[in-house]
Structure 1
Amino acid sequence: MALADTFAISGGDHSRWSNVLYFASAAAFVGAVVLPIVFAFRNRRVTHGLRPVD
């Protein structure tokens, strides 16, 4: 996401907004890791075994 890679210029980031792009990338990474785990725990079903028949 660095401007140096995008526009083939030397040096680091030349934009004040580069931190916003890095934050968006970090948030997307965290979401990609955390959301599947949350959905897996939310959708699992707990079985307590068989109920006795009266």
Structure 2
Amino acid sequence: MDKLVVKNNITINAPAAKVWDALVNPEQTKKYMFGCETISDWKLGSSLLWRGNYEGK
């Protein structure tokens, strides 16, 4: 089975530090990703886990 790879490019009109914080700060990700937080060590090739509750569970 082939490995699934998703790639996308966008332009964001904001300072890089603010964008990075929005991606890696769990308190920020909860604001735009349905209450989910990010869990990762943010090293190249590392996994990214989105953790949150679904229907209160």
Q: Same fold (TM over 0.5)?
A: no
Structure with greater strand percent = 2
Structure with greater helix percent = 1
Larger Rg: 1
